[in-house]
Amino acid sequence: MTKHEQKTCPRCAAAFECKVNNPVHCQCAGIELSERLIDQLNADWHDCLCAACLQALPKADNQSDANRETEPPHHRR
Asked if 16 contacts 51 with a C-beta cutoff of 8 angstroms, the reply is yes
What angle is formed at CA 31 by the lines to CA 25 and CA 37, rounded to 5 degrees?
135
Whether residue 35 contacts residue 73, with contact meaning beta carbons closer than 8 Å, is answered with no
pLDDT digits (tens, 9 = 90+) for 26-75: 888 888 888 989 999 999 998 989 999 999 988 776 666 555 555 555 55
Convert the pLDDT of each residue in 17-33 to its tens digit. 988 778 778 888 888 88
Burial class from Cβ neighbours inside 10 Å (0-12, 13-18, 19+) for residue 48 reads: buried
CA 44 – CA 66 distance, rounded (Å): 22
